[in-house]
Amino acid sequence: NPKNDRPQGCTLIGTIQIPRVGGTLSVTVSPTAWRRATSLLSFGVDLLDGPPEPDPFHGKLPNVTHHIHSLTFGPPFPPGIDPLRNAQHVMDNGSGVALANIAVKLVPTSYVSQNPFSSEVETYQASVARHIVQPETLAAQRSTLLPGLMVTYDFTPLAVRHRERREDFLVFLSSLMGIVGG
């Protein structure tokens, strides 16, 4: 795009309210584009819709490299980090086509700050596992999955209650005396 320095691609911004059951969020190429890409990867020509075209993508397969700026489930967990912030999956297999499969386990978390003026925060901590599925594997297994990004999330049955607090002054004083006294 000549007006800005951003490369070509899609930008998705939004909020999705999800129920407290597992699910999948997918951003993929269309089934027609995937059939054309597998035909081109396998045979070197487009065998779909009429006479074969030498290269329907004009030298470029649909590259599904992506960058996740932020993907959160609930408000931020103050002492933790967001494992899906600034996550990048580069499809460097030559074709730029693959499936980035991200599995997220969500732990319901209740956070209570030691600040007496703050309220309890109900949120989720996330554990993330990433896996890239190459297009040859998708095609060989005749998978119904399409190249792109697939985020599968599931909720754990256990919950965590995180409460910040300090030890009282007498515990500090006795520890200090133990250190100084040797």
Q: What is the pLDDT of residues 58-111, one digit of tens each?
A: 555 667 777 888 888 888 877 778 888 888 777 776 666 778 889 999 999 898
Identify the weakest region by mean pLDDT among 6-10, 31-35, 172-176, 177-181. Answer: 6-10
Reported as a pLDDT band with limits 50, 70 and 90, residue 1 is: very low
Amino acid 2: pLDDT = 47
- Report in angstroms the alpha-carbon separations of 3 from 8, 16, 104, 133: 12, 31, 37, 35
6 pLDDT higher than 90? no
The whole-number average pLDDT for the span 43-54 is 56
Amino acid 154: pLDDT = 94
Whole-prediction pTM: 0.67
